[in-house]
């Protein structure tokens, strides 16, 4: 450490918002260059490379082959698949001296598809899985979480190519198993959840999430433990249709001073009590929320979403449902262009593609045919009662858009949902033929016909994994690495000024190194033991060996960083004991 390129900091960096960012900077593992752009320093780079190697070993182990693409790519292929536009502001675009358009790759589906197309032409060549561990670029809107969300970051991305659906299933399963081994070896606690395919297109997809309060993803698990999904992918169990044959005809009533759902419910209970004498609740009202959708080609549409009045809209869920369109509230001016929309009193009778207004209307799956609602009467100060779905209004379809609450029913009778936050560390997708079709990747099949290849795409956040491990393992005194990716196996602290301490330490370290143990040696002569201990705690190497006063009595101290437990060991036994401890 007397020569190591390392400066630890006692103060938290001002811009850090999550513990991994704070601690990786304080411990001298990384330094920030610009928002979401970081330099790895020697200790950080060692951790990074260990993560990278684990990922590489497990990919190689099932026969995936490593290649390496440039990050700087021509736009053509991304234009052919629509992603040049679809990525919007997230894509770093640039031009060369001739004015030709380029991008910095955010992910490489297009390039891998074209590569396989250029080399392979027969079903006999398949299956193949190719991967790279490479720097990616995304101009993230909120790069606030340090290494967790970089604008430049390292991803392992792989792609499988198969002749048919069964082949894809097998390749997907191989990746899934490799990911399980990777994240187990990284010491991460994780869950595998159903996910939305999002920007990748395709169908089935799962995410590996590391549960953690700093996580930016919200996921749910069912109380029976058998269902887990990213909230964006949660499907609402559809209630049974209701028999409305005894529901009275819809009737419009005056509802003065009912600006909010609560006021409407209170007023309704006082003035128009339910026929079955149970009280009205917010869940009996149908709330219609107006959005502006912006499509890929820049055109916009008005969308009204109908949800039970006790529910809030989760814009991320709505956006995932209408992808690739983006969603924002409808502004004042746009409201004025649609006289059918009476603000505060919007009711579904005037909505839907077959209505006079033609305004698109989607409802929450709970709004089943036959269910009766209190909703706006499309005139100020009035609401309509006993408004029956399917009888009095017709939506254009259903949409998953409401905020998921703890206690909501899980799909398929798996009990109730409980939510938690997590960091997305990996994502596996069954892409199907989307990219192969767009870029015309075909091979000759057994009967001599051209057949479109079926693909999968799989990502691991390599740099993000470093921060995710830090998030799950840090404590109040610093980082605390699992052995598999710690920058060294043992941190030897020479605690004292005497030459004997340093001489003995050198001998011990030589012995440990001959046994294959990696050592970081705090040999700084002018630094106090207290400061050395603080640094050792901050750096988080799993085993700390203290050589100090005990040396005179023939003992040294071994501390376990994670548990804080320490014990004295005779110096003659020390090398063998330490080696067996760190090597398991």
Q: Taking the complex as a whole, how short is the minimal distance between the CB of residue 192 and ligand ATP, in angstroms?
A: 12
**138 touches Mg ion (CB under 5 A):** no
Q: In this chain, which of 27, 155, 163, 492 binds ligand ATP, going by CB under 6 A?
A: 155
CA distance 465 to 458: 15
559 binds, among Mg ion, ligand ATP, none (CB under 5 to 8 A by kind): none
CB closer to ligand ATP, 211 vs 459: 459
Contact with ligand ATP (CB under 6 A): which of 146, 201, 211, 426?
A: 426
Single residue of 58, 364, 392, 424 touching ligand ATP by CB under 6 A: 424
* E strand or H helix at 184: helix 165-185
Q: In this structure, what are the phi and psi dihedrals at residue 451, rounded to the nearest 5 degrees?
A: -130, 135
Cβ-count burial of 340 within 10 angstroms (0-12 exposed, 13-18 middle, 19+ buried)?
middle
| Number of residues forming the site for ligand ATP (CB under 6 A) | 15
Among 86, 125, 140, 164, which residue sits at the site for ligand ATP (rule: CB under 6 A)?
140
Contact call for residues 36 and 28 (beta carbons, < 8 A): no
Q: Which of 56, 221, 366, 464 binds ligand ATP (CB under 6 A)?
A: 464
Residue 425 contacts which entry, Mg ion, ligand ATP, none (Cβ below 5-8 A, type-dependent): ligand ATP
The contacts found for 556-563 with CB under 8 angstroms, 24 or more apart, are 556/508, 561/480, 561/491, 561/536, 561/537, 562/473, 562/480
Residue of 362, 286, 366, 288 lying closest to 325 (CA atoms): 362
Stretch that binds ligand ATP, among 283-291, 317-325, 336-344, 456-464 (CB under 6 A): 456-464
3-state secondary structure of 300: strand
Beta strands (DSSP E) in 447-562 are 450-452, 454-461, 490-494, 519-522, 543-547, 555-560
From ligand ATP, Mg ion, none, which one binds at residue 153 (CB under 5 to 8 Å depending on kind)?
Answer: ligand ATP
Identify which of residues 149 and 311 has a Cβ nearer to Mg ion in the complex. Answer: 149
- When the beta carbons of 155 and 551 are compared against ligand ATP, the nearer one is 155
CB 463 within 8 Å of CB 28? no
Where residue 136 falls (left for φ over 0; alpha for ψ -120 to 50; beta otherwise) is: beta
Nearer to ligand ATP, 400 or 535 (CB): 400
Q: How far is the CB of 424 from Mg ion (least distance, A)?
A: 5
349: exposed, middle or buried (Cβ count in 10 Å: 0-12, 13-18, 19+): buried
H or E element, residue 150: none
Angle of CA points 170, 174, 180, to nearest 5°: 140
CA distances from 562 to 55, 184, 321, 482 (A): 24, 18, 43, 9
CB-based closest residue to ligand ATP: 461
101 binds, among ligand ATP, Mg ion, none (CB under 5 to 8 A by kind): none
Count the Cβ atoms, other than its own, within 10 Å of residue 68. Answer: 9
Binding partner of residue 311 among ligand ATP, Mg ion, none, CB under 5 to 8 Å per kind?
Answer: none
Q: With contact defined as beta carbons under 8 Å apart, do 99 and 34 qualify?
A: no
Told to check if 136 binds Mg ion by CB under 5 A, we report: no
Query: Interacting stretch for Mg ion, rule CB under 5 A, among 164-172, 301-309, 423-431, 450-458?
Result: 423-431
CA angle 257, 362, 250 (to 5 degrees): 50
Q: Is residue 138 at the binding interface for ligand ATP, with CB under 6 A as the rule?
A: yes
Residue whose pair of structure tokens reads 């001599």 in the numeric block: 448
Q: Cβ–Cβ contacts within 10 Å for residue 455, how many?
A: 26
Q: How far is the CB of 196 from Mg ion (least distance, A)?
A: 9
544: burial class by Cβ within 10 Å (0-12, 13-18, 19+)? Answer: buried
Q: In angstroms, give the least distance from the CB of 201 to ligand ATP.
A: 12
Query: What angle, 0 to 180 degrees and rounded to 10, lies between the N-to-C axes of helices 462-473 and 42-61?
Result: 110
CA distance 351 to 536: 65
Residue 11 C-beta: closest distance to ligand ATP, Å: 25
Selected range binding ligand ATP among 60-68, 112-120, 148-156, 368-376, rule: CB under 6 A: 148-156
- Residue 461's binding partner among ligand ATP, Mg ion, none (Cβ under 5 to 8 angstroms by kind) is ligand ATP
Q: How far is CA 256 from CA 220, 269, 293, 383, 424, in A?
A: 40, 14, 32, 9, 48
Residues 57 to 116 in contact with ligand ATP, rule: CB under 6 A: 107
Partner in contact with 352, chosen from Mg ion, ligand ATP, none, beta carbon below 5 to 8 Å by kind: none
The site map against ligand ATP for 384-423 (x = CB under 6 A) is ----------------------------------------
Among 389, 425, 443, 555, binds ligand ATP (CB under 6 A): 425
The answer to whether residue 149 forms part of the interface with ligand ATP (CB under 6 A) is: yes
Q: With binding defined as CB under 6 A, does residue 171 bind ligand ATP?
A: no
Of ligand ATP, Mg ion, none, which one does residue 40 interact with (CB within 5 to 8 Å by kind)? none
Smallest distance, Mg ion to C-beta of residue 106, A:
11
352 or 426: CB nearest Mg ion: 426
Nearer to Mg ion, 147 or 362 (CB): 147
- Quick one: which segment of 22-30, 323-331, 458-466, 575-583 binds ligand ATP (CB under 6 A)? 458-466
Considering the rule CB under 5 A, would residue 427 count as an interface residue with Mg ion?
yes
> Can you tell me the distance from the alpha carbon of 206 to that of 223, in angstroms, rounded to the nearest whole number?
20
Considering only residues 519-578, where is the footprint of ligand ATP by CB under 6 A? Answer: none
Tell me how far, at minimum, the Cβ of 459 lies from Mg ion, in Å. Answer: 7
Binding site for ligand ATP (CB under 6 A): 107, 138, 140, 149-150, 153, 155, 424-427, 459, 461, 463-464
Binding site for Mg ion (CB under 5 A): 427
């Amino acid at each position: 450490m007397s020569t190591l390129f390392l400066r630890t900091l006692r103060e938290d960096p001002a811009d850090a918002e999550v513990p991994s960012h704070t601690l990786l900077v304080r411990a001298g593992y990384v330094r920030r260059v610009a928002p979401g752009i970081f330099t790895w320093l020697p200790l950080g780079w060692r951790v990074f490379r260990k993560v990278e190697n684990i990922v590489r070993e497990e990919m190689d182990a099932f026969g995936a082959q490593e290649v390496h693409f440039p990050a700087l790519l021509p736009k053509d292929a991304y234009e052919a698949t629509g992603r040049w536009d679809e990525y919007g502001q997230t894509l770093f675009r640039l031009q060369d001296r001739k004015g030709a358009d380029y991008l910095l790759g955010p992910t490489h589906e297009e390039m891998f598809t074209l590569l396989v197309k250029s080399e392979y032409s027969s079903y006999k060549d398949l299956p193949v899985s190719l991967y790279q561990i490479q720097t990616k670029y995304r101009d993230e809107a909120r790069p606030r979480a340090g290494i967790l969300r970089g604008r430049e970051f390292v991803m392992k991305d792989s792609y499988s190519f198969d002749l048919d659906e069964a082949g894809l299933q097998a390749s997907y399963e191989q990746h899934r198993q490799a990911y399980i081994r990777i994240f187990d070896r990284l010491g991460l606690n994780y869950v595998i959840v159903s996910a939305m395919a999002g920007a990748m297109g395709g169908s089935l997809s799962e995410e590996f999430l590391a549960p953690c309060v700093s996580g930016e993803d919200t996921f749910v698990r069912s109380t029976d433990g058998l269902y887990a999904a990213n909230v964006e992918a949660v499907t609402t169990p559809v209630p049974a249709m209701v028999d409305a044959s005894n529901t009275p005809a819809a009737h419009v009533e005056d509802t003065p001073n009912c600006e909010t759902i609560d006021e409407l419910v209170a007023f309704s209970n006082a003035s128009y009590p339910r026929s079955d004498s149970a009280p009205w609740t917010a869940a009996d009202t149908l709330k219609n929320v107006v959005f502006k959708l912006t499509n890929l080609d820049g055109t916009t549409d008005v969308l009204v979403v109908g949800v039970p009045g006790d529910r809030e809209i989760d814009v991320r869920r709505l956006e995932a449902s209408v992808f690739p369109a983006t969603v924002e509230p409808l502004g004042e001016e746009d409201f004025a262009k649609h006289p059918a929309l009476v603000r505060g009193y919007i009711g579904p009778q005037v909505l839907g593609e077959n209505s006079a207004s033609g305004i698109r209307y989607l409802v929450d799956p709970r709004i089943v045919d036959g269910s009766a609602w209190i909703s706006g009467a499309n005139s100020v100060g009035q609401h309509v009662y006993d408004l029956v779905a399917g009888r009095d209004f017709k939506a254009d379809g259903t949409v998953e858009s409401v905020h998921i609450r703890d206690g909501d029913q899980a799909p398929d009778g798996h009990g109730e949902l409980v939510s938690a936050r997590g960091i997305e560390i990996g994502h596996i997708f069954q892409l199907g033929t989307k990219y192969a079709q767009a870029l015309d990747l075909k091979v000759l099949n057994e009967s001599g016909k051209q057949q479109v290849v079926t693909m999968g795409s799989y990502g691991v956040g390599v740099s993000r994994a470093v921060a995710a491990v830090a998030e799950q393992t840090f404590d109040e005194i610093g980082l605390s690495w699992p052995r598999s990716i710690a920058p060294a196996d043992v941190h030897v602290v020479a605690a004292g000024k005497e030459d004997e301490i340093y001489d003995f330490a050198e001998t011990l370290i030589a012995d440990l190194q001959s046994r294959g143990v990696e050592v970081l040696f705090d040999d700084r002569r002018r630094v106090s033991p207290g400061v050395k201990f603080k640094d050792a705690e901050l750096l988080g190497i799993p085993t700390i060996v203290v050589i100090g006063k005990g040396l005179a009595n023939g003992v040294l101290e071994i501390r376990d960083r994670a548990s804080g437990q320490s014990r004295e060991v005779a110096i003659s036994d020390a090398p063998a004991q330490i080696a067996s401890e760190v090597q398991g």
